[in-house]
């Protein structure tokens, strides 16, 4: 994998964690803060499920539909509606509990999920919190959602291949011609391994280049060889 990454431009952060042994491998960019893009939707939904379970909020049937769309096809519109209804700047304090210690808003005076930075280490802490610390019902719901994402999100950790039963939440954004592609999720028997990858290509390389890079990282880690090139196309 190191040889593969040596030929890729830009910045990439990677954290691979073995939930059974506790072993963790991080690359040099694991703590580099990059735009979180839609990976932060997993933190939003985790927060909402926990608050709903505690009785602090009461999610409606419509809210559950929005949650599904935010996770399944990474709908920005669904995330916006959930954010407007239930979230504000206090979100940052709550996700510290998930281990997202370096996450921050780029516009703190007007906190919004779409303007957040975090690191691959933050995303690793998040997915491990989901798999290891939240109530079983919420954990089961999120696991199923991440294992059945729409084609637009079948890349990144998904590159581990069907035999490894991956689940993931992806994120992507075009920053003036420089694409950010992120993926966080799990793979292996009983979701034994978690993987978080964040990539800033630092140039005029498109969505497909980033999505392919992340997918091949997962393929090399879990299959020991390069895998199929993803076919997803970026949505606005």
Q: How far is CA 102 from the centre of its chain?
A: 15
Question: pTM (2 decimals)?
Answer: 0.97
For every one of its 236 residues, what pLDDT tens digit does the chain have, with 9 covering 90 and above? 778 888 889 999 999 999 999 999 999 999 999 999 999 999 999 999 999 999 999 999 999 999 999 999 999 999 999 999 999 999 999 999 999 999 999 999 999 999 999 999 999 999 999 999 999 999 999 999 999 999 999 999 999 999 999 999 999 999 888 899 999 999 999 999 999 999 999 886 899 999 999 999 999 999 999 888 898 888 75
Distance (Å, whole) CA 178 – CA 200: 7
For residue 10, give the nearest of 216, 236, 220, 213 by alpha carbon: 213
pLDDT value of position 6: 86
Kindly give, in sequence order, each residue whose CB lies less than 8 Å from that of residue 178, ignoring residues fewer than 6 positions away: 200, 201, 202, 203, 204, 205
What's 2-223's CATH class? Answer: alpha beta
Q: Residue 203 has what pLDDT?
A: 80
Q: Can you give the pLDDT at residue 30?
A: 98
Using the 8-state DSSP alphabet, how is residue 30 labeled?
T
Residue 149: C-alpha distances to residues 29, 62, 155 (Å): 27, 19, 10
Distance of CA 206 to the CA centre of its chain: 19
pLDDT of residue 236: 57
Q: Strand, coil or helix: what is 175?
A: strand
pLDDT at 1: 77
């Amino acid at each position: 994998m190191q040889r593969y990454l040596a030929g890729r431009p830009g910045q990439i952060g990677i954290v691979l964690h073995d939930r059974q042994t506790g072993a963790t491998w991080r690359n040099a960019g694991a703590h580099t803060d990059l735009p979180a893009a839609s990976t932060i939707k997993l933190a939003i939904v985790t927060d909402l499920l926990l608050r709903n379970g505690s009785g602090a909020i009461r999610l409606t049937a419509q809210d559950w539909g929005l949650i599904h769309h935010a996770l399944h096809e990474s709908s920005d519109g669904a995330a916006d509606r959930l954010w407007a209804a239930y979230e504000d700047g206090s979100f940052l304090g709550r996700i510290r509990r998930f281990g997202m210690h370096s996450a921050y808003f780029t516009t703190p005076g007007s906190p919004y999920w779409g303007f957040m930075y975090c690191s691959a280490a933050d995303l690793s802490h998040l997915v491990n919190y989901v798999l290891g610390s939240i109530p079983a019902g919420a954990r089961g719901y999120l696991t199923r959602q991440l294992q059945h994402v729409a084609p637009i999100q079948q890349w990144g950790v998904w590159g581990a291949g069907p035999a490894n039963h991956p689940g993931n939440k992806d994120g992507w954004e075009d920053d003036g011609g420089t694409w950010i592609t992120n993926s966080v999720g799990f793979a292996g028997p009983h979701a034994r391994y978690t993987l978080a990858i964040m990539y800033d290509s630092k140039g005029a390389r498109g969505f497909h280049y980033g999505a392919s890079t992340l997918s091949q990282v997962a393929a090399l880690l879990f299959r020991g060889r390069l895998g199929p090139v993803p076919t997803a196309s970026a949505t606005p």
